Structure 1
Amino acid sequence: MKIVSVSVLLVDEPAVEPAFRWRDGLPGSDGPRVGAWLAIETDDGMTGWAYTKRGIILQDLIERRVRDELLGEDPARREWLWHRLWEIDRIEEMPIYIQGLVDEALWDLAGKRAGQPVHELLGTYRDAIPAYASTVTFGSIEEYLDVADQCLALGYRAIKLHAWGDARRDAELSLALRDHVGPEVDLMYDGSAGFDLADAVYLGRALSEAGYRWYEEPMREFSVNAHQRLAERVTVPLLVAETSDGAHMNTADFIASGCAGAVRTSTSFKGGITGAMRVAHLADAYLLRAEVHGGGLPNTHLCMAIPNTTYYEALVDSNPVERAPEVGPDGMVRAPTTPGMGYEAAWNNSAPPASVSAGVRRDR
C-alpha cells in the first residue's frame, strides 16, 4: 500500500452569521475565508480526509514541501511519518496544525482499512462524554448570565467563559456567574493568553475564590517560569500548554515546573492524533488530566479514547443559544460509529462539502 496522491481541495467558507467576537485584541469571527480539505489517496483507491479553515497556508506547504515527503510512502507508517514531519519542521517552522492534518488523514485511512472508528483503534475508554458550553465574548454581565441559563436549560453540564480580557471586569463577571448558577455547576475561565503576570494573578484570585475548575491559558505560553510564578500565587488549577509548540516535549516542561493543574491536548495544536495521545499519556503518568481543546470529529475520537479528560468543548457563539448538533438533549456527545473519522457519514447527513466535487486539485 502506497500513497499515490496528496490533494488540497479549497472551499470558500461564508462569513459567520451572526458575527461574534473574542476578547479585546483578538480577531473575531471574521468575514469569508478559504478552508480546505486535505485528501491523501492510496494505490488501492482509499482516501483519508482532514479539514482546516486555513486553506491557503495548507495549500502552500503541501505543494512546496510536504507532498514530496508523502508520495510513495506507506500510510500505515504513521509514527515514522509523524517523526519525519518534525524533522522538516526543524527547518521550515511549520504551523503545528499542518502536521496534525496529515496525521488525522492517515488515521482516517487506518480506520477505514480496519473497518473501525478511530477511537476503537486507539482503544476506546468511553462511549459518551458530557459537553461544556464554551462561550464567545458577549456584551455585558447580564447577557452572560442569560446565556448561562440557556446553556444549562439545553443540557450543558458546565460553562467556560471567554470574556473581555480586562482583569478587573472579568473578575467581576466570574464572581457574578458563580453567584448566579450556584456551587454545583462546573465553571471554567479561558484568558486566551490576554494577561501579563500581575493581571493574571488579580483575576486568578477571583477565580480561586469562586471555585472555578480551571484557569486556561492566562498568559502567552512562551514563559513557563511566568506560569510557575502564577501557580504559586493562586489556588485555581492552571490549564496550560494549549498552543505552545512542541507537543508532548513542551508540555513536559510545564508539568516539570509544577505549574500544571492540568494540560491541554488536541489534534490541532499537538500534531494530530499521534501527538495528542502522547500528551494524554504524559499527563496520565503524573495523574493529571489532559483536557481536549476544541470540538469536531477528530477531537471527538480523542475524547472517547483517553481516560483523563473531563468534557467535550462545544462552542456557544450566539444569543439566543443553539445547542451544537453533536450534543444531545442530555448534554452528552456520543462516540462515532462509522469507520475512520466519519466525515463521509456527516456528508451523507447533509450535503458533501463543495470542495469534494468542485475543489482545486493539485496532484503530482
Structure 2
Amino acid sequence: MKITHVEVWTVPVPAPSPPFKWRAGLPGSGVAGERGILRIGTDTGATGVAYASRPGSASMLRDLVDRVWRDELLGQDPLQREHLYHRIWELDRLEEFALPYLGTVDLALWDLAAREAGLPLWQFLGGARTRIPAYASTTTFDTTEEFLAVADRALELGYPAIKLHAWGDARRDAALCQALRDHVGPDVPLMYDGSAGFDLPDAISLGHALSDANYLWYEEPMREFSVSAYAALGRAVRVPLLSAETSDGSYMNSADFVSAGAATFGLRLSSELRGGISGAMRTAHLADAFRLRAEPHGMGEAERHLCMAVSNATYYESLVTHTEFVRTDGIDAEGYLLAPVGPGVSLPRGLDYPHALADYVNPDPVALALAAA
C-alpha cells in the first residue's frame, strides 16, 4: 500500500450561538469560518482524514500540504506510522509547525488504519472501557449566581463533576471556587482551569483556596513555558496539578513536568496539542509509568476515542457555553460518554460537509442506543 494523494478539503463552521466568553484578557467564542480537513489516500483505495478545529486551519493546512507534506508523504507506506511520525518531527526542526498541526498527519494515518481494520479507533488502539463519566466544563459567566445555576443544571442532567473557567482574578476566582463547593456539597468532584491567567504568586494564593475547598485538580494557572515555575507551585500547594496541555514538545516536554514534580495529578492528552494519536498515547503511557492520570482535553472526536483507549483517564470534558445547555451528543442520561461507533475516528457531526466527506461522519452512539431500545 502506498500513499498516492494528499489533499485538503474545507467545511464551513458557524459561530457558536449564543456566543460565550473566556477569562479577562482572552477573546470570546469567535466568528464563523472555514476549517480544514486533511485527507490521505492510497493506491488500494484506503483513505483517512483528520479534522483541524482551529480558526484559519483551512489555509494553514493548504500551505503545509502544498509546500511540505505532500512531497514527504507521496509513495510512503501509510501503515508505517512510526516512521512518518518521526519524519514530521524532523521537518519540524526547520518548519516549527504550529502546535495544533504537529499531529494532523498522524491522526489521518491512524484513521486510515482503523478504517482498514473496520474498527473504531479506540478498539484499534486496544480499548480500556466502553463508557466514561463526563464533566461539565464551563465557559466564563458574568456572576457567581450564573455559575451556580449552571452547576445545578449540570447535576440535573447527570454530569457527575464540574470544572470552572472563571474570571482570571485570583481573589475573585477563589471566592467563586469556595461558593461552588458550598453550593454543591462535599461529594461532587470539582476542578478549576486558570486558562494561563496568573503569575506564580497569584497561582500559589489561588492554589491554597482550591486545597481548602477540596478541588480534584488545578489546571493551567500559568503559561506552560516554565517547568521551574510549575515545580515551585507543586511544592507550595496541596491541590494536585494537571499539567502540560499547551507546552511544546509533546511527550518529551511532558516528561519534564513529571520529573520536576509539576504534574501531581497527571498530564493533559490531546491529539491536537500532544502530537497526534502517537504523541497522546506516548503521553498516557508516560503518565501511567509514574502512576499519574492522563486526562483527554476538549471535545474533539479523537479525544472521545482516547477516553476509551487510555486506562488512566478519569473523565471526558464536555464544554458548557450557556445557562440553558443540554448534554453533548454521545453523553447519556447518567452523564457517561459512550464509546464511539463506526470505523476510524469520525469527523464531527452536524457540519455541512462536501458529499465526498459524508461517509467519514459516524453516528451518535446514544442515538443508536435509544433507537435500539
TM exceeding 0.5: yes
In structure 2, the partner of 1:138 is 141
In structure 2, the partner of 1:279 is 283
The correspondence for 1:229, drawn from 224, 228, 232, is 232
The correspondence for 1:339, drawn from 320, 340, 343, is 343
Residue deviations 1:170-215 (CA, integer Å, cap 9, x gap): 0010000000000110000001111000110111111010000000
The correspondence for 2:132, drawn from 129, 142, 145, is 129
- Match of 1:124, SS state, is coil
CA distance in 2, matches of 1:67, 1:160: 41
CA distance in 2, matches of 1:22, 1:189: 13
The correspondence for 1:59, drawn from 57, 62, 78, is 62
* Amino acid corresponding to residue 47 of structure 2 in structure 1: T
Structure 1: stretches of 5+ with no match in the other structure: 359-364
Q: How far apart are 1:119 and its partner, in Å?
A: 1.1
The 5-angstrom pairing of residues 173-252 of structure 1 reads 173-252=176-255
Is this contact kept in 1: 2:135–2:163, CA < 8 A? Answer: yes
In structure 1, the partner of 2:259 is 256
CA distance in 2, matches of 1:304, 1:224: 29
CA distance in 2, matches of 1:206, 1:34: 41
CA distance in 2, matches of 1:169, 1:285: 37
CA distance in 1, matches of 2:33, 2:9: 14
Residue deviations 1:321-342 (CA, integer Å, cap 9, x gap): 2211121111011112311113
CA distance in 2, matches of 1:353, 1:129: 29
CA distance in 2, matches of 1:185, 1:174: 13
CA distance in 1, matches of 2:355, 2:140: 31
Q: How far apart are 1:112 and its partner, in Å?
A: 1.1
1:355–1:144 Cα change, 3 Å: farther
Q: How far apart are 1:144 and its partner, in Å?
A: 0.1
- Match of 1:249, SS state, is helix
Give the TM-score, by structure 1 length.
Answer: 0.94
279-288 or 315-324, larger mean C-alpha shift: 315-324
In structure 2, the partner of 1:25 is 25
Q: How far apart are 1:96 and its partner, in Å?
A: 2.7
- Match of 1:337, SS state, is coil
In structure 2, the partner of 1:312 is 316
In structure 1, the partner of 2:5 is 5
Is this contact kept in 1: 2:11–2:352, CA < 8 A? Answer: no
In structure 2, the partner of 1:361 is none
Is this contact kept in 1: 2:127–2:309, CA < 8 A? Answer: yes
CA distance in 2, matches of 1:100, 1:229: 31
Identify which of structures 1 and 2 has the higher relative contact order when contacts are C-alpha pairs closer than 8 Å and 6+ apart: 1
Once the two structures are aligned, what percentage of the paired residues are identical?
Answer: 56
CA distance in 1, matches of 2:28, 2:106: 28
Residue deviations 1:153-184 (CA, integer Å, cap 9, x gap): 01111000001111111001000000000011
CA distance in 1, matches of 2:45, 2:328: 34
CA distance in 2, matches of 1:326, 1:305: 16
2:42 is equivalent to residue 42 of structure 1: yes
Is this contact kept in 2: 1:116–1:340, CA < 8 A? Answer: yes
Residue deviations 1:27-79 (CA, integer Å, cap 9, x gap): 11111222111111111222211111322222221221112111111110111
* Amino acid corresponding to residue 19 of structure 1 in structure 2: P
Is this contact kept in 1: 2:11–2:351, CA < 8 A? Answer: no
Give the TM-score, by structure 2 length.
Answer: 0.92
169-178 or 98-107, larger mean C-alpha shift: 98-107
* Amino acid corresponding to residue 284 of structure 2 in structure 1: A
CA distance in 1, matches of 2:63, 2:281: 28
The correspondence for 2:305, drawn from 301, 308, 311, is 301
Residue deviations 1:245-304 (CA, integer Å, cap 9, x gap): 111100000011112111111111111110000000001110011111112221111111
* Amino acid corresponding to residue 95 of structure 2 in structure 1: E
Q: How far apart are 1:357 and its partner, in Å?
A: 6.7
Is this contact kept in 1: 2:12–2:351, CA < 8 A? Answer: no
Q: How far apart are 1:355 and its partner, in Å?
A: 7.6
How many residues are matched? 354
Q: How far apart are 1:356 and its partner, in Å?
A: 4.2
